[in-house]
Amino acid sequence: MSNLRFALLGAGFWARYQLAGWRELAGVECVAICDRARSKAESLARNFGVPAVYSNAEELLRNEHLDFLDVCTDVGTHAQFVHLAAAHKLPVICQKPMAPSLAVAEQMVAVCRQAGVPFFVNENWRWQTPIRRLKGILESGAIGRPFRARIDMISGFHVFSNQPFLAELEEFILTDVGSHTLDVARFLFGETRSLYCQIQRVHPDIKGEDVATVVMKMDGVAVLVEMAYAGNVLERECFPQTLIFVEGDKGSAELCTDYWIRVTTPEGTMAKRYPPPHFVWANPEYDVVQASIVPCQENLLKALRGECRGESTGEDNLRTVRLVFASYESARTGKALHFT
């Protein structure tokens, strides 16, 4: 089977990890990189041996024969490039968050649906090794029927050092971290029936919120999602690990620090560590997150080949986007929202 050829749009912080993830997989090949700052595209192309470089996406699409487009640009340009891919009848993968507003996200999904173009979102968080294992434990019935859960992504890590643009976002932690953690909640517990959210800004020198607390009722499970980049000093910093505690009617399961999962039932507690695979290209500070890029992209590649449906379709991720912006509405109005 011949390689699927793709172009990468964007050459910023995450682009090199996206590209490194693709290179771990057989049957796929990056043939071009495009960035409005051509020098950045040229540098990334040299590092990865990519033959073609562009600063204009339309020119790229006129000149290259592609099987799909991988959009890894800032969120404000996602819709532009997804619409462009749809106009060219080209399957497209988009970095999260999908869009800067719910209306724009809905338009992106609609235009791809109307064009008959496969549309996916590169939502890798749910593909973390320990989170996938926790999902398997819940599905096994080991702790019975889950009825309450807590999902925490709380860190004192100064994320703005590596990604300074985050400090300029008017809407920060819910779009950045919430896009992931609310998606993990959906992955583990199904769809949301009601939601209530509060947000805060602790850093005085950023524009958006850096703390959010979301309470949801999800298919019979009460779920608390806590996220923070408040910059406070924690006894044990575990960035960027997600910690999860689930109560069931026959026991409990906890994803603890350092990738340990503890399952407690009347028979006692069983603990086992599920660390992520290590890739030499991964930044040690982001290891568990960047390692999850590979299985996510493997799933998307199979979907593009027609071998599976693919988990993070645009249609599916739109449900997560709705939760993100519903959280802002709840925080703004002080009211719980209910979904039919």
| 117 and 236 belong to one structural domain | no
**pTM confidence score:** 0.96
Q: Of 107, 122, 137, at which residue does a domain stop?
A: 122
Q: Of 122, 139, 159, at which residue does a domain stop?
A: 122
Please write the tens of the pLDDT for every residue from 82-112: 999 999 999 999 999 999 999 999 999 999 9
Please write the tens of the pLDDT for every residue from 44-86: 999 999 999 999 999 999 999 999 999 999 999 999 999 999 9
The DSSP annotation for 15-62 comes to HHHHHHHHHTSTTEEEEEEE-SSHHHHHHHHHHHT--EEES-HHHHHH
Q: Mean pLDDT over residues 7-32, rounded? A: 97
Q: Is residue 309 part of a domain?
A: no
Please tell me the predicted confidence (pLDDT) of residue 199: 98
| 273 and 208 belong to one structural domain | yes
Please tell me the predicted confidence (pLDDT) of residue 25: 98
Q: Is residue 59 part of a domain?
A: yes
**Range of 34's domain?**
4-122
Task: Provide the 10 A C-beta neighbour count for residue 51.
Answer: 11
Q: Is residue 58 part of a domain?
A: yes
Measured CA angle at 78 (ends 74, 80), to 5 deg:
125
In sequence order, which residues have a C-beta less than 8 Å from that of residue 140 and are 6 or more positions away? none
| 35 and 78 belong to one structural domain | yes
Please write the tens of the pLDDT for every residue from 172-192: 999 999 999 999 999 999 999
Q: Of 76, 102, 122, at which residue does a domain stop?
A: 122
| 170 and 106 belong to one structural domain | no
Q: Is residue 298 part of a domain?
A: no
Number of domains in the chain: 2
